[in-house]
Amino acid sequence: MQRNKLVFALVGLLLCATAGYSLNRFILSPEDVVRRNLGNICPQNTVAEDFNVLNTRKWSARKIVVYKVNCRSENAIPIENRNFLGHQVVVRKGLGWQASGSGDHLEVLPQPPGELVHYGIKLNQKNVGGDRHAVIYGEILTPKVAAVEATFDNGKTLRDEGKDGILAMALPEAVEVREVRVLGANGQVLQRDSKSPPTIYVDQFSFPVAPSPEDALRHHVFVSPTCSQPYAPEAMVLGDFRILRTIKYSQGVMVLYRQICRDATTSILQANLYTAWVVHENTVWRQAKVSQSLGQTSYRITNTSPVEHKSSVWQLRSQSLAADYLTEFSPMGLVWYSSGSEVSEGKNVDDDKTFISGRALSSKVVAVEVSFSTGQTLRDQVTNGVFGILLTRAAKICEVRMLGANNQVLQRNGLPLGEPCR
């Protein structure tokens, strides 16, 4: 009898252990659901570490899980770390949760000064529930951001107040997100990423002109892509092209913008900072329709606006060489910058210029000051992590000074010892 009791007890313990194991397999938390898919996120020859669920956002009977993971190279020297941001929609299944759809992830930049948000966008054509929806998800990087708004292709706009440092919005039957606006206090727009095509006119000589500096620049990027092979056009992410600064001068504006190039997995191939000069002039123009074929861009006057207009429009005049936006270290230390001069042909010195532009590698740098061979000294406050200074004369740069709070000089970069500045 005692032996039978012992057998029953052992069988009971075995059944409980088996049931517990089965429940453990199927009662998954939202974090567990995401963790099971980590092997599909990191590129080859990297391992996932520092996995972190940033937070979740309730959406109807589902949840949107926003997470980050660091992928560390196994063999590269020095060790390379790549940062991925992702989301997964999960639904309640019994006592636990299961994935709804395939989720999404993309590689994001390290956090240089000036970055406000990291976000991704995913269209679910059809998930297990049989519906279609667009999701925008991301991480808020600074308390300057009070809210994020997304306008979808059906005209609807959703707003997320950034609670718990994340943003997550989903809209049924939406095909794509057309515009993202990052808002600060009092509703001011800190950042605007648009997918709408720029408005383009043609002047009397059939050169493209635009109603704004931003449109002129966005059109230039459209017709002359800065990304080369093996860049995958289908991997373009809204926000990969972003205007960071627009600095006004009497002759026009200096525009600093960033362009990220990705492969088909949305991993970053390169990210560059560019400086462009856009000028305004009075000219006769007509609205045009832009088309591309076999790498050629053509401009056709639209039938809806054959009337000629005369007003001030904007045209891209020139563009500097790219500066690496991924640089973590610089021999110059606190900033990464490029500089140069443009001297016009003939005697038209009005087009001469000397420039310096770049980005801060440290939040300690609040301003950059430059002395020129003309005896002039110009300064620019670091804004959105970048700075730009333009002298409307051809000159030599004598010294660059990185300034911190209270105008203290953190670092000086000058000409080699003994070289005159004239």
CATH of the domain at 391: 2.60.40.10
Task: For residues 159 and 217, state if they share a domain.
Answer: no
Task: For residues 37 and 107, state if they share a domain.
Answer: yes
b or e along 196-218 (b: 16 or more beta carbons within 10 Å of the residue's beta carbon)? eebebbbbeeeebbbbbbbbbbb
In a domain, 182, yes or no: yes
The neighbour count for residue 303, using CB atoms within 10 Å, is 7
Q: Which of 357, 318, 315, 325 is nearest to 338 (CA)?
A: 357
Question: Which pLDDT value is given to residue 138?
Answer: 94
In a domain, 6, yes or no: no
Tokens 């051809």 belong to: 394
Question: Which pLDDT value is given to residue 345?
Answer: 62
Task: For residues 393 and 373, state if they share a domain.
Answer: yes
In a domain, 20, yes or no: no
Domain range for residue 83?
30-194
Task: For residues 331 and 320, state if they share a domain.
Answer: no
User: Which helix (DSSP H) or strand (DSSP E) does residue 5 occupy?
Assistant: helix 2-26
- Residuewise pLDDT in 10s, the chain (422 residues): 555 544 444 444 444 444 343 444 457 788 888 887 776 778 777 888 888 899 999 888 888 999 999 888 877 666 778 899 999 988 888 778 888 877 888 999 887 778 899 999 987 666 445 567 889 999 999 999 999 999 998 889 999 998 889 999 988 877 789 999 999 988 899 999 988 888 888 888 888 999 999 899 888 887 777 787 677 777 788 889 889 999 988 878 999 999 899 988 888 888 888 899 999 888 888 888 887 776 678 887 766 666 778 888 999 988 887 778 876 655 557 888 888 887 766 555 567 888 899 888 888 999 999 999 999 999 999 998 899 999 988 898 999 999 999 899 999 888 776 677 87
In a domain, 397, yes or no: yes
Of 155, 176, 194, the one marking the end of a domain is: 194
Q: How far apart are CA 115 and CA 165, in angstroms?
A: 14
Q: Among positive and negative, which fits the CA dihedral 381, 195, 89, 109? A: negative
Task: For residues 71 and 173, state if they share a domain.
Answer: yes
Task: For residues 186 and 209, state if they share a domain.
Answer: no
In a domain, 159, yes or no: yes
DSSP 363-401: TT--EEEEEETTS-EEEEE-BTTEEEEEESS---EEEEE
Question: Which pLDDT value is given to residue 269?
Answer: 87
Task: For residues 291 and 154, state if they share a domain.
Answer: no
Total number of domains constituting the chain: 3
Task: For residues 214 and 161, state if they share a domain.
Answer: no
Of 173, 194, 215, the one marking the end of a domain is: 194
Of 142, 164, 194, the one marking the end of a domain is: 194
Task: For residues 139 and 57, state if they share a domain.
Answer: yes
Read off the tokens for 219: 């059109």
In a domain, 119, yes or no: yes
Task: For residues 415 and 308, state if they share a domain.
Answer: no
- For the entire predicted model, the pTM comes to 0.83
Question: Which pLDDT value is given to residue 114?
Answer: 84
Task: For residues 119 and 222, state if they share a domain.
Answer: no
